[in-house]
Chains A and B, each alone.
Chain A
C-alpha cells in the first residue's frame, strides 16, 4: 500500500509542475510562489509525503484540475457504476466458469467439451475491446436489442446510484459485464477443469468409489469442493484484475464508472484523479487478498488447524 501511495504521490511532484497545470498563462511569478507556499509545495519531500498519506487516509486527494471538484466526491459518484459492473461480471465469470469447468472436467472427450474449450481459447486470445466492439456491433447495431453505451436510467438511493431497478439499467449492464467477464471466465473454466481432472484421479476418490458412494456425490461433493480451493485464490486475485480491466470495457461502452473517469483524467493529465485511482485500486487488491485469506480459513480445514496448533 505504502509503495503504491508513494508512486502516486510522486506523480504529483515529478510529472510536471502542478502549478503550471492549475493557473493560467498570465499568472505572475510572485503569485505562483505564493500559491506554492499555500499549497505546501515548498516543504521537504517527506513532510509532503506524510501529509499526502494523512489526507489519503481521510479520503482527500485534492481537487481535480480539469473538473475543479474534489476528487473524493468524483470517485464516490462514479464508484457505484464500477462496483455494479465488476460484481456482476465476477458473478458471471465464477458461476458459468465453474459450471463449464466441471462439465468439461468430467466429460473430457465429449464434443461439447471440445467446443467449450475452443471457444474459451478465443476468450483468452481476443483483447477485451475487440470483443466489446463485436458485441456492440452484433447486439446493438444489427439486432438492436441492447443499448451500446451508458448505464441507462439510474435510481438514486442517496448514497448509491443503481441501475438494477430499471429495465434500461439492467439491459445496459448486460453487454459490458459479459465482455468484462469473458477473460476471467475462460481462466476459471480451465482451472476448474484441470483441478477436477486431477482430483478425480486421487486415492480418496478411488476409495469413495470403492465404498459405493454414488457418482454424483463423488463428483459434486467430494471432488468439486476440493477443486474449488485454488479457484478461490485465483478468483480473488482476478476480481482485482477485473477492476483494472474495467478501464477498457468502460471506455468501449462509455460506462460512467471509475475506469472511464481515469481514462479521461489521463487525457487531461488530471493527476489528483490518477493518483487517487491508483491508491484506490491498491486498496481494493489488498482488501480482496485479505478476504480471500479469511475465506480460506473457513473452506480448508487444514489451514484452520495449523492456526490452532501454532497458537497453542
Chain B
C-alpha cells in the first residue's frame, strides 16, 4: 500500500535573472517496509527532493508546486504545518556524520531534547528510551556512551548516533541522504545492514539517496533515477539496472566500473568521444622518453612514517605509525594500485614518494637512486621533474587566481627557464589537447570549469614536466561516475601512448580493478599483500583482502 505519495513536486530557485528548477514535476510513491533508491549525479536534484519532503530547502529556493501525502495527511498544506511532522513522522539522515551532530552537546542531551520535543516523556523515561535506542543501533556500552560528546565517536559510530536521533520519535518515513558516502566500505556495509534491518523491524518507508549504484543494487527494492531535476525512470531495481529503458540510465549504468571483470575501456554512451579514437597526440613529439626497460622504476624498502603527537617530547608512546615497514616495487610502465580504508597510510606513502613527507625510516629508490637520501636541492629537482602527482580534489588543487595557461606553464618554466614564449604556448596547447580540452581553455580560470575538466587540467599540469611516474591519489573520488569513466579512460590512453608508470591510490576496489596491473592492500599502515589484479580479485590470500572484497557493494549482486 502506498504510504508516501509525492505529486508533481517542483522546487525552484528564484535568481535575479531567471528561475532555476532544482526539481521539476517529480512523482514518487513509496510503500511501507520498502527502500526506494534515489540515484543521480551531482546536481540532479536528488537531495533537493529529499529536503523538499520536509520543506527544508535553503533560501532562496522554495517548493513551488506539488503536494506530499504521508499516509492520509497532506503534510505540505502550508509551510508551517510541516514543522510538526519533522522528526515525528519523518526522520532524516545526512551524509556527513562529522558535521551533523552539535559538537558541544553530549549525544544524550541531543537525544533527550529531540524525544522531549515530540513525545510527552519525563527526562528519566527519555533517557531510558535513548539508551535503548543506542543499543538498538549497535552502540556498545550505551549507558556510558550516552554522556559522550560526538567527537568521541568514530565516523561509523557517529552515523549510528545520527540514525538513532532520526529514529528516536518513531517516524514512519526515513530519508537517508548519502548516509554512507563519507564512510569506509566495511563501515558502509554495517550501516546499510542496519538500515535494512530497521526498515523490516519497524516497517519503515525509506528513501535512500545516493550516487553509488553498488549501494542501490544491494539495498534498494525500487529505484528512481533523476537527471537535472527531472525523474528519468522509476521501477524495480533489478529491471532498472539490467534493462534500463532511457538512454541516460543506460549510460549511467555502463559508467559504473564492474566488480566482477576487467574491461578495456568504459563505454560512454552519451557525450562526444565517438570520433576521438585517432587523437594524434602532438605531445608525443616532445616526449623525450626512453623505451620501457624491464626493470623496477620505484623500489620501496622498509618504509615507515610515524606522526608524533607531541612535538616537544617525541615520546614513542603517543606516536602513530602511519606507515609501518612497507616494501614493494613498481615496474616501469605498469599501473600499481594501492588500496585501503581511510587511515591505512596510502596517501602518506604517496606523499613520501613525491617527497612531500620525509620518511621516518626506510628508503625509496627511483631509477636505482635513493631519493630519500638526496641532500642537494638541484639533485632533488631532477627527480621532482620525473615524478608528478594528481590530487583528489580538483577544486582545491588548482590555484583559482591563475589562468589555466599559467597553471600549466609554472612547472614548465620552473624546469626549463629558457623556453621561448611561442614554444611555451604551443606546448601548453599540445598538453591541453592531449587531455581533450580546447585551446581556448588556456585563457580561462579554473572556476569556469566543471570538476571533470579541472581534473583534466591537473593531469595536463602533471604531464607538463614529462614525468615518468604519475602518482594519482584518489583522482576520481570527487567525481560523478560518468565523469570518472571519462577520466579513467583518459589516464589509460595516456599511459599507453606515453609509456607512463602510474601509482594509483584509491579506496574504490572496482576502479582499481579496471586501472591496475598489480595491487597492494594496505591496512593500518601495514602492507597485507601484493599480487596481480586478477589474482587478487579471484583468489585473495589475505583475510583482510577477502573481507574487503566481500563487503564491497556490487552492482552485479542484482543478477543473483
| A residues apposed to B, CB below 8 Å | 202-204, 206-214, 217, 221-222, 225-226, 229, 299-302, 305, 310
B91 touches A211 (CB 8 A): yes
A301 x B101 contact (CB < 8 A) = no
Given contacts A301-B149, A305-B149, contact A211 B104 (CB under 8 A): no
> Does B162 lie within 8 Å of A207, measured CB to CB?
yes
**Whole-angstrom CA separation of A213 from B168 in the bound complex:** 12
| B369-380 contact mask (Cβ, 8 Å, vs A): 1 or 0 | 000000000000
A295 to B: closest C-beta gap in Å: 13
- Stretch in contact with the other chain, from B113-121, B330-338, B457-465: B113-121
Q: Is the CB of B91 within 8 A of A302?
A: no
Pair A212/B87 contact, Cβ less than 8 Å = yes
Chain A residues with Cβ under 8 A from B91's Cβ?
210-211
Check B86–A212 contact: CB distance below 8 A.
Answer: yes
Please measure, in the bound complex, the distance between the C-alpha atom of A202 and the C-alpha atom of B102, giving whole angstroms: 9
- The contact sample of 5 A-B pairs, CB cut-off 8 A, is A210-B92, A213-B113, A221-B113, A222-B102, A301-B103
Contact B151 A301 (CB under 8 A): yes
**Are B103 and A213 closer than 8 Å at their CB atoms?**
no
Task: With a 10 A CB-CB cut-off, give which of A203, A210, A213, A214 has the most chain B CB atoms.
Answer: A210
Given the known inter-chain contacts A211-B117, A212-B118, A302-B151, please indicate yes or no for A206 contacting B94, CB distance below 8 A: yes
Question: Bound complex: CA of A222 vs CA of B106, how far in Å?
Answer: 12
Q: How far is the CA of A273 from the CA of B270 in the complex (A)?
A: 82
Closest CB in chain B relative to A195 CB, distance in Å? 13
Set of chain A residues within 8 Å of B101, measured between Cβ atoms: 204, 207
Is there contact, CB below 8 Å, between A203 and B99?
A: yes
A302 vs B104: C-alpha distance in the bound complex, in angstroms? Answer: 8
Measured between alpha carbons, how far is A213 from B87 in the docked complex, in Å?
A: 8
CB distance from B82 to the nearest CB of A (A): 9
Q: Which residues of B contact A212 (CB under 8 A)?
A: 83-88, 114, 117-118, 169
A-B contacts counted at CB < 8 A amount to 85
Known contacts A206-B56, A302-B103, A310-B309; is-contact A214 B117 (Cβ 8 Å): yes
Bound complex: CA A301 to CA B29 (Å): 43
Partner of B100, one of A207, A222, A299, A305: A207
Are A204 and B99 touching (Cβ within 8 A)?
A: yes
B contacts with A, residue count (CB < 8 A): 36
User: Chain B's nearest CB lies how many Å from the CB of A196?
Assistant: 14
B96, A300: Cβ atoms closer than 8 Å: no
Contact B99 A210, beta carbon cutoff 8 Å: no
B104 is contacted by which of A207, A226, A310 (Cβ under 8 Å)? A226
Interface 1/0 per residue, B39-55 and A, CB below 8 Å: 00000000000000010
Known contacts A301-B103, A305-B149, A305-B152; A207 and B92 CB within 8 A of each other: yes
* A-B residue pairs, 7 tightest by C-beta: A212-B87, A212-B86, A211-B87, A210-B92, A203-B99, A301-B149, A207-B100
Query: Using Cβ atoms and an 8 Å threshold, which residues of chain B touch A210?
Result: 54, 56, 86-87, 91-92, 94, 166
Instruction: Output the least CB separation between B385 and chain A (Å).
Output: 41
Q: How far is the CA of A221 from the CA of B318 in the complex (A)?
A: 36
Q: Is the CB of B151 within 8 A of A207?
A: no
Closest A residue, CB atoms, query B310: A310
6 extra A-B contacts, CB within 8 A, seeds A206-B100, A207-B101, A212-B86: A212-B114, A217-B117, A225-B104, A225-B105, A226-B104, A310-B318
> How far, in angstroms, from A49 to B539 measured CA to CA in the complex?
77
Q: Which residues on B sit within 8 Å (CB–CB) of A305? A: 149, 151-152
Distance in Å from the Cβ of A207 to the closest Cβ of chain B? Answer: 4
Residue of A204, A209, A214 near B103 (CB, 8 A) is: A204
Within 8 A of A (CB), among B105-135: 105-106, 110, 113-114, 117-118
Residues of A within 8 A of B85 (CB): 212
Please report which residues of chain B, range 57-95, place their CB below 8 angstroms from some CB of chain A when the two chains form the complex.
83-88, 91-92, 94
Taken together as a complex, chains A and B put the C-alpha atoms of A143 and B84 apart, in Å, by: 53
Q: With an 8 A cutoff between CB atoms, is B297 at the interface? A: no
